[in-house]
Structure 1
């Protein structure tokens, strides 16, 4: 047996990565430190579960007697989500295309990607607060906030989808003497259409949920009604609102599945 074969036989097949272990130890130590710093303890958790159980008991049975107020808020949230999704999707198409590095030069892609990053930097509730201060309370602030959120999500994924396309089809269409617009229509769009439809349907579903959150800060929709019911300790009406929200989200989920099947 040669020395090289002997050393290979003695080599540990599962070497210890001390750097990885050290990182895990640091992460665990920080979790313990943060747990103590935030004053989290078992007594508070037990008391919280008791209060939560009392709240759930007061939610039964749900109170749908104020169905007109509930319906008005739900319709406004639905309108906010649909309008914000439509405008956000339309704006995301050119922005996402400008951000694709395989189709545009760097001096165009960098500003487009910077805009997308800005739109993704803040939660929709934070953006809604800014627009409430700018344009006042109501649905307009919610629509503008969800448009920003839609651009941050769809434009980013659309740009990444374009960057993953096959450039052979692009070159083939260009070789026919097609204009830039025809290159996009006949070589880029067919390759990303199915994925873009998936992104769009997911964003509509997300905006349906976010329209409730932005309403809590005064940006229209059912969120304001929900927040007011919590403040009045009107938990049976809270239960009615939550059940209605679940029903709307489930309907949107089935609709998105149907749309994806159509565009397969």
Structure 2
């Protein structure tokens, strides 16, 4: 390699370097505007240590209240996932650009985008104001969130299928239903199951948060324990939530392995 070729191969990218410098300068500026200082961090670490000390040991004496909240969160997660998947399946098919014309997939994709545009906690607040406190508001909020996530991924999976199999089914004179059943769904079934299991895991976590705004589940119990400064019971609730998520992850992993 000549000296000129070596210089060309390792020519510095001044645009990228300038971008990194600008990012570093803006990060420093943003930190000063948000009053992020070492003094505040040191005070915060000390307060965090005292807070964690008050959480140990965890208090499981009110296990009945804990179990009731966890069961409600589990029910919210399962129902919202099932409803979201049932709605996402037709939405994903209608949003796929290789199956439907523009005048069909464009508004459907817009609807899916609207479902994804707001955080599920904000949606839960809206439903709490609309239909009142309780699990129904949480189910409605997480159903909307599930629709936005699963329908988008399912539509993208359908757009990546091989159209040769679809055309072969159409060549036999099959109708739209048979084309979907034998030409489209077999190619995306495993991915759709994976999306659904991931959404169930996500809804298990999210169902603990929507309760904080009054949408049912263990989140309400957790928020009430924080307000009472009952930190040992808070620790028990957090450990139970972590255990539930671990169990759900193990079960979903087994299901994915069985479907491969």
TM-score tier after normalising by the smaller chain length: over 0.9
Equivalent residue number for residue 83 of structure 1? 79
- Map of 1:146 onto structure 2: 142
Partner of residue 10, structure 2: 14
Q: State the secondary structure of the residue aligned to 2:8.
A: coil
Please list the CA deviations of residues 43-101 of structure 1 after superposition, one character each: whole Å capped at 9, or x if unmatched. Answer: 11111111111111111111111111111100100000000000000000000111100
Structure 1 counterpart of 2:49: 53
Residue number in structure 1 paired with 2:161: 165
Detail structure 1 runs of 4+ shifted over 4 Å in the superposition: 5-11
TM-score if structure 2 supplies the norm length?
Answer: 0.97
SS of structure 2 residue aligned to 1:120: helix
Does 1:70 pair with 2:66? yes
Residue matched to 1:186: 182
Structure 1 equivalent of residue 104 of structure 2: 108
What stretches of structure 1 of length at least 5 have no aligned partner?
none
Q: 1:230 aligns with which of 211, 226, 239?
A: 226
The structural deviation recorded for 1:22 is: 2.0
Matched position secondary structure for 1:61: coil
Task: Trace 1:35-54 onto structure 2 (pairs within 5 A).
Answer: 35-54=31-50
CA-to-partner distance for each residue in 1:110-144, whole Å, 9 max, x for gaps?
11110111111111101101111111111011000
1:211-253 deviation digits (Å, cap 9, x = unpaired): 0110000000000000111111101000110111011111110
Structure 2 unmatched ranges of 5 or more: none
Q: Shift of residue 10 of structure 1?
A: 7.1
How many residues of Structure 1 are paired with residues of Structure 2 in the alignment? 260
Q: Corresponding residue for 2:259?
A: 263
Q: Give the Cα–Cα distance (whole angstroms) in 1 for the partners of residues 10 and 167 of structure 2.
A: 48
Q: Which residue of 2 aligns with 1:126?
A: 122
CA distance in 1 between partners of 2:103 and 2:219 (Å): 41
Name the Cα RMSD after superposition.
Answer: 1.4
Q: Give SS of 1:177's match.
A: coil
1:197-216 residue pairs with structure 2 within 5 A?
A: 197-216=193-212
Q: Distance in 2 between matches of 1:9 and 1:130?
A: 62
User: Residues 55 and 10 from structure 1, CA distance in 2 versus in 1: closer, same or farther, beyond 3 angstroms?
Assistant: closer
Distance in 2 between the 1:57 and 1:11 partners?
Answer: 59
The 1:10–1:46 alpha-carbon spacing in structure 2 relative to 1, beyond 3 Å, is closer
Secondary structure of the residue that 1:84 maps to in structure 2?
helix
User: In 2, distance between residues paired with 1:203 and 1:52?
Assistant: 32
Change (3 A) 1:253 1:7: closer
| CA shift in 2, pair 1:196/1:10, >3 Å | closer
